[in-house]
Amino acid sequence: MAGVHAFTSITANYLPKARVLAESIRRHGPGFRIHLVLCDEPPPGFHLATEPFDELITPADLELDAPAWLFSHSVVELCTAVKGPALQHILAAQGADKVFYFDPDIAVFGRLEELVAALDRHCALLTPHQCVPEVDDEAVRANEICSLRHGVFNLGFLGVRGDGEGRRLADWWAERLRSYCFDEPQRGLFTDQRWMDLAPCFFPDIGILRDPGFNVATWNLTHRQVTGSLRDGVRVNGEPLGFYHFSGFDSGAQERMLARFGGDNPTLWELRAWYLAECDRHGQAELGEHPARWSRFDDGTAIETRQRVLYRSRPDLQRAFPNPFATADPRASYLQWWRVEGPTDGDAGSFRAAVDAPYGHVLGEFLDYTAARIRRSPRLGRLGRACLLGPLALVRRLTRLLPG
C-alpha cells in the first residue's frame, strides 16, 4: 500500500481513542503512514517515537495558528476546521497517492484494501449516514431528520485520491473550512460536514459507499444486522465488518442510542465493552478530562460559546483584540471588554444586537470577502490592488454608520 496515508484530528483528551484507531489501522493496513493532527498542546509524557503515529501535525504547520482564528472556533469546530488544510498538507508535503481520514472514535476491523482499491475508481469516497429509508417514525425523527440538519454524509470518514479531481475537492473543502467551519445550523452550517452535501454536485467522480460493513454506528443500526463475535469475526448483514464508529461515548449518547436501536444484541455490546477496555488501556482515565489549550483564556477562565460567536462576527473586535486569549493588560483584553461592554446575561436581544453592531453585518462581511479576493488575485499588480482597495476601505469605514 505504498503512498497510502491516514490521519485523524484531536485535542489531547482524545489521544486514547486516537491510539486505538491507529493501532487498528496498523493491524489491517501495515503499509499505511499515519498522521496525528493535534489541535492542542501535547499532554505530559507524549513522545511521538513511542506513539503509533508517524507524524505530528499542528495548526502552526498548517499556518492556522493566528490567535484570532483559533479563538473563533470551539474545540469541535477547530478539530474539524483543520481537516481540509491537513488533507492538503498531506497530499502536497507527503506526495500521497491516497489519503483517508478517520474520526478518532473509529476502530478498523478489516477490509482496508477494498477502500484503497475503490480510490482507483473514484476521486473520493463518502459514507452516508443512512443508505436505506427508515420505516418507523421514531427512526425517521432520530436519523433521517438529524441527517437533514447535520449532513447527509458522515465526515467521520473520507477517502481522497491524490490527483486531479481529488486534489480539487481537497482544495475546495479546505477553503470552505478555513472560513465557514462553524456549528450554526440556523445558517445551514454544521462544522465540516454540511459542505460535503454539495460535493457530489461539484465532483461527479465521487464514490458513495453503501456497503453496510463500513462506518457502522448507532444511527444506521436499524438496517444493519450485526452478528458474530470478536473471536470469530463480526459480520454486518452477512458481510465482514470494515470499521465501526463509536460516536458519542463521552456524552453518553452512544450507550443511549445503542440501547434504543441495538437492543440486547450481544455482538454490539461486546464491541462496546472491548472499545471501553482499549481506551482505558491507552490512558482514558488520565487524559479523558484533560483541558484543551484553546478552550480557555490565558488566565484559565473558560471561554463561552457566545464569546466566540460575537468575536468572529465583529471585525472591529478582531482589530481591537488581535489576541483575544490574552488577559494580562486590561486595556487589550477581550475578556475585560466582555465583562464591561458585552451583552447582558440571558438577554438574547442584547446578544443579537451586539453581534450585528456597529454596522450592517451582511454588507461588512461582503466587503471583507471582496477585499480578500482582491488581495489574493494573481491578475492584479500592486498598483491595481491599491486602486481597488483604497475606495473599498473607505466604503468599509462608512458602513460603521449603518445600524445593525
Instruction: Answer whether residue 231 is part of any domain.
Output: no
Confidence (pTM): 0.85
Instruction: Answer whether residue 345 is part of any domain.
Output: yes
Instruction: Answer whether residue 282 is part of any domain.
Output: no
Tens digits of residue pLDDT in 263-316: 899 999 999 999 999 999 999 999 999 999 999 999 999 999 999 999 999 999
Q: Rounded CA gap, 29 and 243, in Å?
A: 12
Residue 351's domain comprises: 296-356
Residue 224: how many other CB atoms lie within 10 Å = 19
Are residues 99 and 10 both part of a single domain? yes
State what percent of residues in the chain have pLDDT above 90: 75
- Of 196, 211, 226, the residue at which a domain comes to its end is 211
Say if CB 245 and CB 106 are below 8 A apart.
yes
Q: Rounded CA gap, 336 and 338, in Å?
A: 5
Are residues 126 and 158 both part of a single domain? yes
Are residues 311 and 388 both part of a single domain? no
Q: Rounded CA gap, 202 and 175, in Å?
A: 15
Q: Give the pLDDT of residue 95.
A: 85
Are residues 138 and 174 both part of a single domain? yes
Are residues 12 and 160 both part of a single domain? yes
Tens digits of residue pLDDT in 80-122: 999 999 999 999 988 899 999 999 999 999 999 999 999 999 9
Query: How many CA atoms, within 13 angstroms, populate the side-chain half-sphere of residue 97?
Result: 11
Q: How many domains does the chain have?
A: 3
Residue 47 carries which side chain, given as an amino acid letter? H
Are residues 68 and 194 both part of a single domain? yes
Q: Rounded CA gap, 263 and 256, in Å?
A: 10
Are residues 189 and 337 both part of a single domain? no
Are residues 138 and 164 both part of a single domain? yes
Residue 238 to residues 226, 228, 233, 346: CA-CA distances in angstroms?
A: 8, 10, 11, 53
Residue 269 carries which side chain, given as an amino acid letter? W
Are residues 117 and 44 both part of a single domain? yes
